[in-house]
Amino acid sequence: METLTRTTLNIDEELLAAYRRLAARTHSSLSHVIQDALREALTLRQDREARPPIRLSALSQGGGLVPGVDLSNHAALTELLEQPGDDVLRGRALDADEGGAADDAEPA
């Protein structure tokens, strides 16, 4: 059996009204509906924190854009991002991040 603790929260009126409507529709108590929502939010947050950070392959190690990436051209950017794993964008980013020469870099 779970132990319940009484507490006081300040909740936006519109949000509370929405939860009251949900409780009425599902024939549940307001406490039960809010506890479920808190559990779901906690699970989502824990899952998000457990995921490795997303590496933006459009950025070079120095922080600038990888050559060939134009953020103002949505169609070209989408095309680059949708290419297979060895695509131009990711290949350049990996080379730059690993200290190698990027595809557009001139030989030393």
**pTM, 2 dp:** 0.49
The mean-pLDDT minimum among 33-37, 56-60, 75-79, 87-91 falls in 87-91
Length of the chain: 108
CA distances from 99 to 8, 19, 25, 61 (A): 54, 53, 58, 8
Summarised one tens digit per residue, pLDDT across range 14-72 is 999 999 999 999 999 999 999 999 999 999 999 988 887 766 565 566 667 766 677 78
Of the candidates 76, 77, 86, which has an alpha carbon nearest to the alpha carbon of residue 58? 77
Phi, psi of 65 (to 5 degrees): -70, 145
